[in-house]
Structure 1
Amino acid sequence: MERYLIPGVVHACDLIRMLAKHDKGMTSQQIEIALALPRTTVFRLLRTLCAQQMIEKREKKYFCGADLMNIGLQIINSDRMHQIAIPHIQRLALKTGHTAHLAVPHHGTALIVEVFDSPHPLKVASRPGMRALMHCSSTGKVFLAFLYYDNLDLMFESKELEKLTSKTISDIPSLRKELQGVMALGYAVDDQEYNMDVRCVAAPVRDNRGVVVAAVGITAPATSFSKSQIPAMAAQVKEAACAIYKDTYQLAAEQRIKVG
């Protein structure tokens, strides 16, 4: 049976398992020594796994990546977080008067998984199943800032930052500056960058380990969501994201008690 194994895949699995045990990360040299592999082999493995977002590089160390964590989360928790988020997303739409949505990172895009429409006749929103470009959507910027910031060059090395409107950020240096603001404020804004006359705000949703696994946001026409309202709306979005985290953490704690 073992003669059918692909060495490269075996090495990749070994590497991932090893990183999963080192929450402080490992350098490429440490990985070479631990796996007893040539430097060129380790370089190709790291490059490939980073490109597939199975692992990520932060400064000089490598860690398990967001996609790998999301896969594990999906297997272990199914759609638990999604179900927990639904009432909070609905409440956010009612409180703000704007359409609210939940998104998760998916193969380099922000995948919309839940939408609650604005209670007002004037509605602007994506539908569940839509994949939004990361560099110009509020949910996408959340993921770029909190999950992929150290791998921006790798993520966009083979594709341009598509300019959808006159306000779309279309170069990496400007995007980095924008994402630094996202990390400082704790929320991201799409100010008519994806669609003209549409504004969006999103905040990160963390799981019980503190890892960003989703983003919650609101979308509205610029005529009913002025620029001056962004801080107040962002506060409500962050409050909803925090409530989802608290419920997720509490449920995880209750399950640990039951298992114990």
Structure 2
Amino acid sequence: MTALFEARELGFAYRGRPDALADVSFTLETGENLGIVGESGAGKSTLLRLMLGLTRPSSGTLLTDGSAFDSRSRSALRAHRRFAQAVFQDPYSSLDPRQSVERIIAEPLRSLGIERARAAVHQRVSAALESVGLPADAAGRYPHEFSGGQRQRIAIARAIVPNPRLLLADEPVSALDVSTRVRIIELLAELGSGESPLTVVVVSHDLGVVAALCQRMLVLENGRVVEQGRTDAVLSAPQHPYTRRLLASVPRLPA
């Protein structure tokens, strides 16, 4: 069975600086969420940018459905925008305050040429809002009228409206309070469990988020993969000293 997404020996270096990523390889199957963890500077966000096609790797290959993806090709990049969408960390800065929620969510439909008829766009926006647990009348309002958790739901609705197969989430709950974080994690889990499952990749420093949402995890240290596998196996019996240090740093309540 062909993998949904694959990275083969990816490398990337910013000009005049040491490698940000080196020999990064992993396979992502449909419906099997992946958590990418590591400390600040480990290369998590750089890897996400490569997966989105925002940056080209210095070496190695990215494959979608078994075919190499070259972000230098405009047609390939356009197709990749339909294949993969992103949700970013801060729901307060990722939404244009001057635009209505409907225009914000409909933006991928317009920019990718998926849908232009007003009635059809409105219908798809309403369906996306329903999928994230917001009422249809939210479409006529503006971001400042919503809480942080609701804004992140709007950002997720914008990401899923073109029906991507892969959702890349960069620290999607770190800017939210604890109770709201739980609800957003539950929402992302629900999106991955439907008839047409959305595969989610979560970049996070929070092992609790990865444990709750991801079946597999990948651990980065200084731009290299030091451990990967089933999340439950990695967390219960980490093999690499770096992974053990990450687990040891998680705060625990006293007994």
Q: TM-score, normalised by structure 2?
A: 0.32
Q: TM-score, normalised by structure 1?
A: 0.31
Hey, which of these two has a bigger chunk of helix by percent? 1
Larger radius of gyration between Structure 1 and Structure 2:
1
